[in-house]
Amino acid sequence: MEATEFILTIVFGTFVFVSFLVWMKMRHETLKAKHGGMSDEAAAELKDLRNRVQTLERIVTDRPERLREEIDAL
């Protein structure tokens, strides 16, 4: 292999590697935007936890009589 071929191989390899890194970064940002940075499972769990917190807040702030009535209704 001549020096010219060696240099061209290094330049081409560097170009391919940098192009791959740019493509991976774009793909990562696209997936992050698509999923809001959160998986479907994590989003479902977050929604469930928010519902639980709302229920607990309602229990804590409601009058005791109303809470008793709701418990008896169950």
Which of 14-18, 21-25, 36-40 is predicted with the least confidence, judged by mean pLDDT?
A: 36-40
3-state SS, the chain, equals CCHHHHHHHHHHHHHHHHHHHHHHHHHHHHHHHHHCCCCHHHHHHHHHHHHHHHHHHHHHHCCHHHHHHHHHHC
pLDDT band at 25 (very low <50, low <70, confident <90, very high): very high
pLDDT in tens, 27-36: 998 888 777 7
Q: pTM higher than 0.85, yes or no?
A: no
Mean pLDDT of 38-57: 87
